[in-house]
Chains A and B, each alone.
Chain A
Amino acid sequence: MANKYALFLGCVAPYRYPGIEKATREVFKVMGVELVELQGAGCCPAPGVIRSFDQTTWLALAARNLALAEKQGVDIMTICNGCFGSLFEANHVLQHDPEKLKEVNHVLAKVGMNYNGSIHVRHFAEVLYKDIGIEKIKSFVKNPLDYKIAVHYGCHFIKPSRIKHLDDPERPKILDELVEATGAKSLNYKDKIMCCGAGGGVRSRNSATALKMTEEKLKNVKKVGAQMMLDVCPFCHLQYDRSQRDLPGYDIPVIHLSQLYGMAFGMPREQLGLEAHEVKFKL
């Protein structure tokens, strides 16, 4: 097991929900895993918007972030599905297409950088599940939880499964098992693997459509009596949390897996940043 990763912060966690960043840092410290900084990292860049605008720019900016980690000789770890989607897929292209790698390195050379394609891109939930493991995680739980939780996988964590090979794209179980390691119960609900509504540039361009999809998910989650919704993506997190301003009556708090682990590992509540959420935790 590697015990050192380069923490890729992305945009939404550090600039909107810093509790996610704080919880991640603390949780990995407790588990004895070192997270090194990616000084000067930029946007991943976002798969829905920037990749839709221009794939050449998308690939070059992702390569720059990958090169920052490669220079330190560590794999990159993301706390966001969007960052995972972009960095993983860009890395896949660069590791399989020598022409594209050459083109990108031509651009990176202008800023004195180079990428060799030597590192892996990891999602923190995958690191927890595969590198640390459920049994070891259980040993860090100081404060067993008894919540009923609706897990949201999001789009870019498992898919495209033909290159990610993390779990079954239709019936994944990683997050359910990770949640249940804390003592909480992970619920089944209708359309569990459906999108939150925000991705693909939809939230920014057509918020009404995004909101309809979000409401559909919240309806299904409420129906099974979930006390909170859990995500592994700050953008899905933002969509579920902030959309409830316009969707009164659901009152379903939203929590990132790092924050749930922070709670279970005994971190002080005020450090989890939950009070900064739109939907307050009364649990």
Chain B
Amino acid sequence: MRKFMFFLLFLLVFLVGGAGAAEKEMKVGFIYVSPVGDAGWSYAHEQARLAVAAMPGVKTTYVEAVKEGPDSERVMLNMARKGYDLIFATSYGYMDPMLKVAKQFPKTVFMHCSGFKRAKNMGTYFGRIYQARYLSGIVAGSMTKSNILGYVAAFPIPEVIRGINAFTLGAQSVNPAVQVRVVWTKTWYDPATEKEAAKSLLDVGADVITQHQDSPAAQEAAEERGAYSIGYDSDMSRFAPKGHLTDPIWNWAPLYKKLVEEVRQGTWKSQSLWPGLAEGIVGLSPFGAVVPQEVRNRVSVAKNSIIAGKMKVFAGPIKDQKGTVRIAKGAAASDKELLGMTWFVKGVVGTTE
């Protein structure tokens, strides 16, 4: 009996191995750092994957919750070996593993989100979410009564620091007296820790809470205390129906569809892409009912001038926490400076460590 079972098993493995090779279609793989059901970062990418999957002649797959070490290298190798034509890796820590795999599979196209290393068959992309953060800062600065905004921050890396600074600048643009208090959780997704961090900010008088992590825990904490909240990644209004104001959100679908089409046509080239509000990659989710029309108008004006290129978020003069001018009057931060930003603007209470 047992021998028979083993035989069946081998037969099965053989059959599964033999199947496959049907008509040529474009295969696109995605690698996510967290589960897709998190309403956050990976969820936003997953929505775009579904849009790509709906394109004719395209087959997609994903592997979620992939750790950023050797595990990610194996998953990418696995996809490349299975003949995937285009692979998206959507976390910073996938950069070096992807570079290694890209060298081994020169015919596969690799796209890495948020990094800076490229190869002939490996490009990078990210979105200027800080522009949307600036807009959400305008909303927060207008709505606060205590003039204390709480920011539940993820990791002290440039991406997060840039977002905090942009949020603060947006709030200050409508309310110079405002201060932004920062608490680091050193998590991307840990609802319990993030909720506690949000509570500690509420305890020191913050009446608008926002966060960088991928869970809506901060929204829930704010809602329980009757405070306002601004989410991140995707529309998080269902987690805080009363106090929800808006969210800076990702909309990767147009970019992903464009890249898939480019690879299919053979026109793809390795570049470093950093689209923003103008390209529709980032934006704000619909406002909550509590946001008055006046505030909506302010946001809309700022949004239009950013899109038209008339206004830059990081335009001087901008001082750091110590009062030193970091970006001179009349100048604007270059992309290189933005990507390596490790200091807080004046008005942020907290350290970058």
Are A and B physically bound partners? no
Chain B interface residues toward A at CB < 8 A: none
